Amino acid sequence: MLGSIKYNLSHLGQFSGRDARQTFWYYVLFLVVLQFGVGIIAAIPLYIDMFTGAFQAAQAGLGEREMQAMMMANMGDQMRTQVWISAAVGVVISILLAASFVRRLHDTGFTGWIAVIPLGTYLFSLGYNIVNLDTMLAMMERAMSATEPSEAFAMQGQMASTSLISWVGILVVIGFGVLKSQDGPNKYGDAPVRF
């Protein structure tokens, strides 16, 4: 596993050649764990603000609705920061994955241009989320104050529909990533070394 990570990090700009399935997936696992770890660390201030708001509301003797409104007000600015941090981390992870995915595509005999699909869907989702950040925060606030659960689910459905587009890219990476390597050399190079 460490050999796969070291190999891929030392070949970040090399879009030619081939990566074996095992080499690719160990590296993807590393990137997922890295992204998860950074996400957890970045979320700590959000949770601190959320719990601070809850404790302040409880000390003030506010009711449930007032408590939710106070918590949401405290979380608004942190949510904006979280979206920008998440976007930055996502772009870095995409850059770290790009060459490896192209080499994986080459190993299965496909053109590296297929990598544009997951990158394009991710960038679309990212741009959409950033442009509509205020709308999403307002929907979250309305969903928290909704009296009927079906009303809150309907609002969440509006937000979730566009995030489905990013799943297309993930499915492309998984679909092509699990394909068997072509035996022997192909037009993209010799059979890859497995780490």
**pLDDT digits over 41-62, tens only?**
988 887 787 777 777 777 888 7
- The pLDDT assigned to 23 comes to 93
Domain ranges for the chain, please list them. Answer: 2-177
Closest CA relative to residue 42, chosen from 102, 10, 104, 87: 87
The residue among 54 and 114 whose pLDDT is bigger is 114
**103 or 164, which is more confident:** 103
Going by C-alpha positions, the residue among 25, 31, 47, 59 that lies closest to residue 177 is 25
Do 56 and 70 contact (CB within 8 A), yes or no? yes
pLDDT above 70: residue 95: yes
The H or E element containing residue 33 is helix 21-59
22 pLDDT higher than 80: yes
For residue 102, what pLDDT is reported?
Answer: 96
Question: What pLDDT does residue 96 have?
Answer: 95
Give the mean pLDDT of the chain.
Answer: 85
pLDDT given for residue 106 in this prediction:
96
In DSSP notation, 142-156 reads: HHHT-SSHHHHHHHH
Question: Above 80 in pLDDT, residue 151?
Answer: no
What average pLDDT does range 5-15 have in this prediction?
93
Residue 4 in this model has a pLDDT that exceeds 70: yes
Which residue carries 């302040």 as its tokens? Answer: 56
